């Protein structure tokens, strides 16, 4: 029965439903003609998001390594109680 075979549109919808929210958001703004194209665009979106996450981590790491940030985190000396 060829009527039971899933259509390309159904496969695309099912694949989109299974994507991570951030990737699905990026891909949903793009037109896709086939499942293969959607998969490719999903991979590109994922690699772009990973690069952005890595860059943010590096920027935050530099901030943490700066003296000013470390000074704020140093414990203050305990006050002399009753002395």
- What is the full per-residue pLDDT of the chain (83 aa) written as tens digits? 467 778 999 999 999 999 999 999 999 988 999 999 999 999 999 999 999 999 999 888 888 777 666 666 667 666 666 55
- The predicted pLDDT at position 79 comes to 63
What is the spatial distance between Cα 43 and Cα 59, in angstroms, rounded to a whole number?
Answer: 24
Q: Which two tokens stand for residue 67?
A: 């003296």
Q: Note whether 23 and 45 are within 8 A (CB).
A: yes
pTM: 0.63
CB contact at 8 A, 16 and 27: yes
What the block records as the tokens of 10 is 């159904």
The domain ranges of the chain are 7-70
* Per-residue pLDDT at 8: 93
Q: Quick one: CA torsion of 26, 29, 30, 34, rounded to 10 degrees? A: 80
């Amino acid at each position: 029965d060829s009527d039971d075979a899933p259509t390309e549109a159904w496969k695309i919808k099912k694949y989109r439903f299974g994507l991570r929210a951030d990737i699905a958001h990026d891909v949903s703004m793009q037109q896709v003609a086939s499942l293969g194209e959607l998969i490719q665009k999903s991979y590109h979106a994922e690699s772009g998001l990973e690069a952005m996450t890595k860059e943010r981590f590096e920027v935050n790491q530099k901030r943490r390594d700066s003296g000013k940030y470390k000074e704020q985190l140093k414990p203050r000396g305990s006050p002399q109680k009753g002395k």
